[in-house]
Amino acid sequence: MAVAENTIWERFLFPVLGLLIDQEGLRHYGESVDWDKESDRFRRDDVVIPAYYSSQDFHGISGGYLNYNAAITYDPITQYVTPPNETWVRQELIDAIQVKPRRILDLGCGTASTTLMLKQAFPQAEVIGLDLSPYMLVRAAHKAESAGLGIKFIHGQAEATGLSANNFDLVTASLLFHEIPVSISQTILQESLRLLRVGGQLLVLDGNQRALRQLEFLNDIFVEPYIREYGAGSVDTEMGVAGFRAVHTKDVWWVHQLTSGIKAISGLDVTNHSNIRQYEPTAQEDLQIFPSPAFDSKA
């Protein structure tokens, strides 16, 4: 795997993670998949791959998400770079759901770690994961299949999904916004508003923008071309500007943040909307049934 040079990631973190990761298991999984054939199942010729995306390196891995190495290594790396525990962090998004969703869309779903938890929390709901990388979708589909969860995966751009308007009760985006230009996040917020029904909820889980501003060195740890731009902005403000109501951001384990917004008819008091309810948080011991979204080499 080609790794960008002379970064903190390349010099310190990647060698350490290399020792923790089951490299043999990854190699075995990588070789067991016909990536060209399987990614062709998802690849759509009409999906435009924007320059901001194809030029991006993911956590220092050259080539970004448009290669199968990214799909293979994403989960093993992410479990170590989502403190204090990847499942707890993702569970905060699930616990913040205030609607009774019949249709859920997870934008930039990647290998579907959050998507799987959404389907597990709402088994009756139709859950769709959308991503620009057909390779990430291959890995996502393997994980869903191995977990026995029926999830539909679509190759597409989060900012221009081509999906019908007013058709989702819940739209989510986890760990997506720090990887894209702010102008694209703003377009994704507008697209999410278009996709949601009135009373529907948008949840954006990502790095804590205040922490990124306060601790400059965090921006240098990973090779993320848009992280400074992301840290300087405010998802909370942008959600309000896009037209969401009841916008609220909370810190998640200090290094992450979760922003929620509701699509409301202007002037409607969304707190009294009949579709909105308080989700019962999952007891920590229940998380054992889904111990980690991380890579399972036996999958």
Ligand X SMILES: C[S@@+](CC[C@H](N)C(=O)[O-])C[C@H]1O[C@@H](n2cnc3c(N)ncnc32)[C@H](O)[C@@H]1O
| Beta carbon nearer to ligand X, 88 or 276 | 88
Q: CB of residue 110 vs ligand X: minimum separation in angstroms?
A: 2
What number of helices (H) and strands (E) belong to the chain?
14, 7
By CB under 6 A, tell whether 86 contacts ligand X.
no
By CB under 6 A, tell whether 236 contacts ligand X.
no
Q: Count the residues of the shown chain that bind ligand X, applying the rule CB under 6 A.
A: 20
By CB under 6 A, tell whether 295 contacts ligand X.
no
> CA separation (Å) from 16 to 12, 20, 201, 217?
7, 7, 39, 19
Of 114, 94, 255, 107, the residue nearest 185 (C-alpha): 107
Hey, which residues between 156 and 215 contact ligand X (CB under 6 A)?
Answer: 157-159, 174-176, 179-180
Neighbours of 30 (CB within 10 A): 15
Q: Convert residues 263-292 into a mask of x (bound to ligand X by CB under 6 A) and - (unbound).
A: ------------------------------
Hey, which residues between 38 and 77 contact ligand X (CB under 6 A)?
Answer: 53, 65
By CB under 6 A, tell whether 224 contacts ligand X.
no
- Is the N-terminal amide bond of 101 cis, ω within 30° of 0? no
Give the list of residues 6+ apart from residue 84 with CB closer than 8 angstroms, or none: 253
Q: CB of residue 247 vs ligand X: minimum separation in angstroms?
A: 21
| Beta carbon nearer to ligand X, 79 or 98 | 79
Q: Which stretch binds ligand X (CB under 6 A): 10-18, 30-38, 109-117, 241-249?
A: 109-117
Neighbours of 290 (CB within 10 A): 16
Q: CB of residue 18 vs ligand X: minimum separation in angstroms?
A: 20
| Beta carbon nearer to ligand X, 136 or 246 | 136
Rounded Cα gap, residues 24 and 168, in angstroms:
41
Assess contact for 17 and 73: CB atoms under 8 A.
no
Rounded Cα gap, residues 219 and 212, in angstroms:
7
By CB under 6 A, tell whether 98 contacts ligand X.
no
DSSP 210: H
List residues binding ligand X (CB under 6 A): 53, 65, 78, 108-110, 113-114, 131-133, 136, 157-159, 174-176, 179-180
